Chains A and B, each alone.
Chain A
Amino acid sequence: METIVEVKNLVKKFHIGNGFFTALKGLDLKFTEGEFAGLVGPSGSGKTTLLNIIGTLDLPSEGEVIVLGKSVGKLTPKDAAQLRKEELGFIFQNYNLLPVYTVYENVEFPLLLLNMSSDARKQRVMETLEWVGLTDKVNSRPSQLSGGECQRVAIARAMVKRPKLVLADEPTANLDAANSHNILQTMEKLNKELKTTFIFATHDEKVIGYLRRKIMLADGKVISDEIVEKPVNSTVQQITK
């Protein structure tokens, strides 16, 4: 299995007043292709910080994070942007859709950054919207959608360029149970079909119920790193059963 992310002795410190706050204290982790893994822990445990560093949105203070063979700390801003543009997908708690764009345009945006041709873009966007079940909402704006629909648009936007790695930060925090299960099942399906690696940061039990790898963080350290053979909520497992 191809190594997607390798975290080596990662330390992240933040300036606070005259001193530092250490958010991550020497983490060592490895994620391989097709994983459906989660960073689980209470607020302040360092989940989002780790996700941001893996997503090249932040830099390590010490140690090394290698994403798809590239050391995050050594990337220029331009190279980091290139990596995000081509290989990484992000799903945020607040969806972060571009409010002036329609559903179609929001999903199309990453492909525009990749300079994909118009026809190829259209085909890819419609195909992705079909996966998330939003083909009837292509012309709607985010303000006209429910929270669940917004998050499905966000998933489509993250998946449309077929990234190798999707980072999802509390993706269900603003959703009700039914919508949470719906979008998690969608992500699980995409993970299975496209072999995309998903890394979640969450403390939501519903999400945890789908994870096939559960990494417990507390106070900036890995407390446990466990492979879940039979995720309780996984539809894939249920089918297998």
Chain B
Amino acid sequence: MQKMAFRSLIGNGLKTWLNVFVLSFTFVLIIFMQGLLEGWNRQALKDTISWEIAGGQYWSKNYDPYDPFSIDSSAAVLPATLKSDYNAHQIEPVFISKGTIYPGGRMQSVLLKGIRPDQHLLALPTALLKSKGTDIPVIMGAHMAKQANLKVNDMVTLRWRDVNGTFEAIDIRVAGIFSTSVPTVDLGQIWLPLDQLQKMTLQPNASTIIIKSEQVPTQNLAAWPFKDQTELTKETAAMIKAKSNGYTIFYAIFFLLALIAIFDTQTLSIFRRQHEIGTLVALGMTQRQVVGLFTLEGTMNAVLAIIVGTIWGLPLFIAFGVYGLHLPVDTSSFGVPMAVRMFPFFTPKLIIGTISLIIVITALVSYLPARKIARMKPTDAIRGKAL
């Protein structure tokens, strides 16, 4: 039966190959785009953990990252129960304050983030914050430096308010510029030594968030609610999921085109091959078996599409998997962690799921016109007058 279905399918010539190509394009596109989103998701998660989250964060209970007016008043003293982890560098307090810099005579609001220069939990090059002289070294992300038009060793004036509301100003030195795909440690932010920022704001021992190593257990602190990796990356994950859902519309359109072509071919095929249908019944097949045969034949479009898609899609997948996909646009303003070069990640679930979906839907679309065969009178079919 499979052989017969395959022969008939190939016998349809160019029409079959057109269907197969459209279906294979859809199939490769779905897997590639979903793989790209999966790769992005993984890269975003990995980079966010590496640059910003580590094993999770304790937030001062008054800290609200979306309320700039409360940031200065949200800092609190490091809890005593975390002291030993602090000394062992298993936690890293980050003190967040607001300030303004004046690069090239312009004014730009910034978020000041104090962190210990000898921390090892985040990928930030904080070793550059170790001061060798009297100046205040700061580091910033490449996008921030680009926005402020600053280079390494440039001096820029920083103004801030201390805990009493008094404005202060000092020149700071750009000790390093780092490149990261995580915009939340880059855009509008300046990193400086923790003790320096505490001194500047007259808030000794103050911190706003505490970054925790994955090696130490989480403590339940009433004044410092803990946010785990899932919670801290949920917005990124939600955005990627929303994008994935958005792409579904494109997949559906492509898939629909392929399915319409298959439906059309099947309908035409059944009309053209009435003699054959009648003959098969006369030779001893039941009409249900003939329906099954034609459904199988239509479904084989999907099987062929998978083979053809593998032939041209697999090298493409491998190439993108090795070299990645270079994004031609600046992604820093997108607000989500996005590397300049994205690497798709193809999971067995994605591949098997997509293949199964395509086969099942193609089978269904092939079955719908084939149902007509069950209603044909074999005697009319033999004469080619059943439809």
> Which residues in chain A, 55-108, are within 8 Å of chain B measured between CB atoms?
55, 57-58, 77-78, 81-82, 84-86, 90, 92, 94, 96-101
> Which residues in chain A, 144-198, are within 8 Å of chain B measured between CB atoms?
157
Nearest CB in chain B to that of A110: its residue: B283
Distance in Å: Cβ of A101 to nearest Cβ of chain B: 7
Contacts of A100 in B (CB 8 A): 4, 7-8, 10-11
Contact status A57-B379, CB under 8 Å: yes
Contacts of A113 in B (CB 8 A): 283-285
> Which residues in chain B, 275-325, are within 8 Å of chain A measured between CB atoms?
275-276, 278-279, 281-289
Interface size range of chain A in the complex: 20 to 34
Contact status B283-A77, CB under 8 Å: no
Contact status B279-A85, CB under 8 Å: no
B378 interface residue (CB < 8 Å to A): yes
> Which residues in chain A, 23-62, are within 8 Å of chain B measured between CB atoms?
48, 52, 55, 57-58
Contact status A78-B279, CB under 8 Å: no
- Which of A48, A99, A110 has the most chain B CB within a 10 Å cutoff? A99
Distance in Å: Cβ of B45 to nearest Cβ of chain A: 52
Distance in Å: Cβ of B382 to nearest Cβ of chain A: 6
In the complex, number of A-B residue pairs with CB atoms less than 8 Å apart: 64
Contacts of B284 in A (CB 8 A): 81-82, 84-86, 110, 113
Is the contact region of chain B dominated by helix, strand, or loop, or is it mixed? Answer: helix
A109 interface residue (CB < 8 Å to B): yes
> Which residues in chain B, 363-380, are within 8 Å of chain A measured between CB atoms?
377-379
Partner of B283, one of A52, A78, A109: A109
Contact status A92-B283, CB under 8 Å: no
Contact status A96-B276, CB under 8 Å: yes
Contact status B276-A98, CB under 8 Å: yes
Contact status A96-B275, CB under 8 Å: yes
> Which residues in chain B, 1-51, are within 8 Å of chain A measured between CB atoms?
4, 7-8, 10-11
Q: Which B residues fall within an 8 A CB radius of A?
A: 4, 7-8, 10-11, 275-276, 278-279, 281-289, 377-379, 382
Enumerate 6 A-B pairs (CB-CB under 8 Å) in ascending A order.
Answer: A57-B281, A82-B284, A98-B4, A99-B276, A101-B4, A113-B285
Q: A82-B284, A85-B284, A110-B283 are in contact. List 15 more A-B contacts (CB 8 A).
A: A58-B377, A77-B286, A77-B287, A78-B286, A81-B285, A84-B282, A84-B283, A92-B282, A96-B275, A96-B382, A97-B279, A98-B276, A100-B10, A101-B7, A157-B283
